[in-house]
A and B are shown apart, each in its own frame.
Chain A
Amino acid sequence: MTWADYLFGALVAAAAGLDRTAAFQLMISRPIVCAPLTGWVIGEPMIGLQVGALVELLWLGRLPVGAAVPPDDTQVAVGATMLSAAMASVSAGSETAVILLCLLVAMPLGKVGQIFDRRVRHYNARLVRAAERDLESGQLERVCRHHLKGLLSFGLASVFTAAIIIVAGSLIVSLLGPLVLGRIEAMNLWLALAFPLVGTAVILGTINVSRAGTLFAASFTTALLLLWLL
């Protein structure tokens, strides 16, 4: 990883972070998109794709309803991709084992993102007041400019979150790596299976479908039988 890689990574973190709430919402912010994108700009697209696929389902069921701010899965995905790419070249374990470790470390660090996000959402109330002042003094053309300043605070919060995940994550991964990479290696397949299964369970627990569990069980069993017999 070169400095240019980190710079590009930060750009993706900012763009995907803005896409989350502040601008566009084309869902570049979903892990399945922003992780491969991060991987692509730093030359490791397959690492990004694996991270994205593993994270995507985990917070998919957390709808942004009401005043609740969901955890920042965007920066977890971007940060974990950068972290995995940086660590894969220097550690002894297989690529998948490194990705799994980096993800497990990045996820709790993503909580920081929630704090930044909430800060920004309180801070932006100032923009409304600044706009009101300009309105009172008759400078209408300046009012909309205050609105767009919000992009800066949302973007900075995203880059900070990604930076914390990468910096703190590198420290933790390089400390934990030698201790646990071997064990993770042995359970690679099962751990990689745990992510989508837990994500699915979370969705089943929150989705607004009557008898979601029964429907899932029926579909799962049928698909299993088909795959077994075919």
Chain B
Amino acid sequence: MSIVLARIDNRLIHGQVLEAWVPFTHATCIAVANDELAASSLKRIMMEAAVPRRTKVVIGTVEEVAAGFAADKFAAEKVLLLFANSQDALRARHLGIDFGELNLGNMHESGGKIRFSCTIFLTREDVENFSRLEDEGVRIVSRCVPTERGENWKKMLQHRE
């Protein structure tokens, strides 16, 4: 299996992912690990309708997607993995999905208080989750679109404090 990008984006599949990240990473498959989306077939169909046919879409709960990775279902794909929030990313990592870098795209609907950029607002819990992920060796980088320069989240945290 190869994960070309693991990203937190509360809008999940949208313009930035499809028009900027898919061509940039040459991803062949978008995997969305999100319990809420997996539970509603209509929401799932809408998300899938936005993706051109040549890109595969897999939508499941965090557990299902993790099981897919464990069973080597994505062996032949270049996977762009999407989470809606930091909790899901942490859970996925603990369920064995191995990503070395986590990209922060949009996090503005979580009601977070700490503002990092135009699009990223974090709660205390998010900060704790990221710290844990970082302790486990994941680099956490804020980067909305590929043309932006990526910035380590710790650096942004220092700017704020």
Complex contact flag A–B (Cβ < 8 Å): yes
The chain A residues found within 8 Å of chain B, CB to CB, are: 63, 65-68, 206-210
Are the CB atoms of B119 and A65 closer together than 8 Å? no
Are the CB atoms of B145 and A65 closer together than 8 Å? yes
Complex: chain A residue closest to B54, CB-CB: A210
The answer to the question of B61 belonging to the interface, with a C-beta cut-off of 8 Å to chain A, is no
The answer to the question of B150 belonging to the interface, with a C-beta cut-off of 8 Å to chain A, is no
The chain B residues found within 8 Å of chain A, CB to CB, are: 15-16, 18-20, 22-23, 26, 54, 106, 118-119, 144-145, 147
Q: Among A63, A67, A209, which residue has its beta carbon within 8 angstroms of that of B119?
A: A67
How many residue pairs link A and B with beta carbons under 8 A? The number is 30
Measured in the bound complex, the distance between the Cα atoms of B145 and A63 in whole Å is 12
Complex: chain B residue closest to A65, CB-CB: B15
Are the CB atoms of A208 and B144 closer together than 8 Å? no
Q: Among A68, A207, A208, A209, which residue has its beta carbon within 8 angstroms of that of B145?
A: A68
Are the CB atoms of A66 and B144 closer together than 8 Å? yes
Are the CB atoms of B26 and A210 closer together than 8 Å? yes
Q: How far is the CB of A64 from chain B (nearest CB, A)?
A: 9
Q: Among A67, A207, A208, A210, which residue has its beta carbon within 8 angstroms of that of B118?
A: A67
Complex: chain B residue closest to A63, CB-CB: B19
Besides A65-B16, A210-B23, 8 new A-B residue pairs in contact (Cβ under 8 A), listed by A number: A65-B15, A66-B15, A66-B106, A66-B119, A206-B20, A208-B19, A208-B23, A210-B26
Q: Which residues of B contact A63 (CB under 8 A)?
A: 15, 19
Q: Which residues of B contact A67 (CB under 8 A)?
A: 118-119, 144
Complex: chain B residue closest to A67, CB-CB: B118
Complex: chain B residue closest to A209, CB-CB: B23
Are the CB atoms of B23 and A207 closer together than 8 Å? yes
Q: How far is the CB of B82 from chain A (nearest CB, A)?
A: 15
Q: How far is the CB of B19 from chain A (nearest CB, A)?
A: 5
Q: How far is the CB of B149 from chain A (nearest CB, A)?
A: 13
Complex: chain A residue closest to B11, CB-CB: A66
